Amino acid sequence: MRRPTIVDIARVAGVSKGAVSYALNGKPGVSERTRQRILDIARDLGWAPSGPARALSPGGRVGAVGLVVDRPAHALGVEPFFMQLVSGIEAELTVAGVDLVLHVTEDQEAELAAYRRWAAERRVDGVILVDLRVDDPRVGEVEELPLPAVVLGGPEGAGGLPCLHSDEAAAMREVVRYLAALGHRGIARIAGPEGFRHTRDRTRAFRAAAEEAGVARTRTVHADYTGEAATRATRRLLALAERPTALVYDNDLMAVAGLGVAREMGVDVPSQLSIVAWDDSVLCGLVRPSLTAIVRDTVSSGREAARMLLGRVAGDGVVSRQAPPGELHPRASTGPLAP
């Protein structure tokens, strides 16, 4: 049984295929009676529009958008962020009947190649850029391509692309003030890779917030979001003569790793060390002590980013927006210092 086409519908209805096209797309050009008859026949035949055929027509859309994730596979596995983001994006795309094409790359060059290929072969109608870097080559490249895009991050460094940015500084202030109020005067931050824009934003915000809150000793060390790197970094920090009394991690996985190191080194959490995770997932609630975390609504960000991209693809004027800032959810891993 061949897929039915509009020609089959036209034959049954006794009209031309042009008329069928008008009827099915709700465009003027056919009478209401005829339209209804054609719709009924289409339903009876189980007709569905051919994606490739639609895309081929002048001005046609492919009905898919792309997302490239450029992080090593093993790191990705346990990063709740991406799957949450994907669910959010998906939720929004599904109602529009648009598919999500996902690509996992090992380096940035491969990521750029993916965008170029998608544009050249017309595989997607647009892309969402995540993990904005300092001097990110993707922005310029994608702007050149006939490929609508929105950036999750920014607004600095997003070039002319509309972006969904979040106020990292506000959340950071909340964290630092909270820790300062608990009596902490030595706070270290185990950050993500230095190359990421949001890492740099947070680092700046961290310093500013610490100064404002009167926290004398701060320090930022960089890791790569993996547990191993966080383990090494935490060991070094806890071995310092004047060791920090509070640690802020740039993702929850690293915070879990830090918790393990503290345990291993006999440093009690939270009486001797407070730990804060940036980004919350079920993980934070499962480990003991449970982790205080900055909670962002990643699913909603995904939805919003998808919505913006669909707008761009449709040709609407899309403006950058701000996502609600993360909120601090105190749990068992933070507290006042034991005397």
Partner DNA sequence: CGTGAAAGCTGAACCGGTTAAGAACGCGGC
Partner DNA sequence: GCCGCGTTCTTAACCGGTTCAGCTTTCACG
Applying CB under 8 A, which residues contact a second copy?
3, 46, 48-53, 55-56, 60, 62-64, 73-84, 86-88, 90-91, 94, 97, 99-104, 117, 120-123, 146, 226-228, 231, 253, 256-257, 259-260, 263-264, 281-283, 285-288, 290, 299
* Beta-carbon count within 10 A of 120 CB: 11
Shortest Å, Cβ 116 to DNA: 15
Helix, strand, coil shares, percent, the chain, to 5: 45, 15, 35
Residue 19 or 323: which CB sits closer to DNA? 19
Nearest distance, CB of residue 303 and a second copy, angstroms: 11
| CA-only gyration radius of the chain, Å | 25
Query: Residue 43 binds what, of DNA, a second copy, none (CB under 5 to 8 Å, by partner type)?
Result: none
Using an 8 Å Cβ cutoff, are 289 and 270 in contact?
A: yes
Shortest separation between residue 125's beta carbon and DNA, angstroms? 15
Q: Which residues contact 331 (CB under 8 A, 6 or more apart)?
A: 284, 285, 289, 290, 291, 292, 293
The entry of a second copy, DNA, none near residue 256 (CB within 5 to 8 angstroms by kind) is a second copy
Taking the complex as a whole, how short is the minimal distance between the CB of residue 227 and a second copy, in angstroms? 4
Dihedral in degrees, nearest 10, Cα atoms 22, 93, 111, 299: 170
Question: Residue 32 binds which entry of a second copy, DNA, none, with Cβ cut-offs from 5 to 8 Å by kind?
Answer: DNA
Nearest distance in Å: CB 67, a second copy:
9
Query: How many residues touch DNA (CB under 7 A)?
Result: 34
Q: Which of the listed partners (a second copy, DNA, none) does 46 bind, with a CB threshold of 5 to 8 Å by partner kind?
A: a second copy
45 interacts with, out of DNA, a second copy, none, CB within 5 to 8 A per kind: none
Is residue 18 close enough to count as binding DNA by CB under 7 A?
yes
If you search the block for the tokens 């006999």, which residue do you land on? 266
* Binder among 41, 47, 257, 273 for DNA (CB under 7 A): 47
Residue 293 near residue 280, CB atoms below 8 Å: yes
For 316, residues 6+ apart whose C-beta sits below 8 A from its C-beta are: none
Instruction: List the alpha helices (DSSP H) in the chain.
Output: 6-13, 17-24, 32-45, 51-56, 73-78, 80-96, 108-121, 137-144, 168-181, 197-213, 227-238, 252-264, 282-286, 298-313
List contacts with DNA (CB under 7 A): 2-3, 5-7, 14-19, 21-22, 24-25, 27-34, 47-50, 53-54, 56-60
